[in-house]
Amino acid sequence: MSSAARSRSGLVLRELRTLIGVSEPHFRALAGASILITGATGWFGVWLLDALCAADDLLSLRLRIIAVSRDPGRFLSRFRGFAQDDRISWIEADVCDLAVSGTSFSHVIHGAADTTAGPDPGTQRRLFDTLVDGTRRVIAAAGTHCTSFLLLSSGAIYGPAKTSGHRFSESECGGPDPSLAGNCYAEGKRAAEQACALAAAEGIPVRIARCFAFVGPHMPFDKHFAIGNFIADAVRGRPILVKSDGRPIRSYLYMSDLVGALLAILVDGVVGRPYNVGSDQGFTIEQVARCVDQIVGGSGVKIQGDRSDPRDQYVPDTSRLASELGVPQTVGLESAIARTAAWYRAQPRAAVTS
pLDDT band at 201, cuts 50/70/90?
A: very high
Q: What is the mean pLDDT of residues 193-198?
A: 96
Question: 0.75 exceeded by the pTM?
Answer: yes
pLDDT at position 164 over 60: yes
- What are the tens digits of pLDDT across the range 139-148? 999 988 999 9
189 near 132, Cβ under 8 Å? no
323 near 190, Cβ under 8 Å? no
DSSP-derived secondary structure letter, 290: H
- φ, ψ at 130 (rounded to 5°): -60, -45
Structural domains present in the chain: 13-214+253-280+315-330 (3.40.50.720)
- What are the tens digits of pLDDT across the range 19-76? 999 999 999 999 999 999 999 999 999 999 999 999 999 999 999 999 999 999 999 9
Give dist(CA 237, CA 314) in Å, integer.
28
Q: What element of type H or E holds 149?
A: strand 148-154
**Other C-beta atoms within 10 Å of 249: how many?**
22
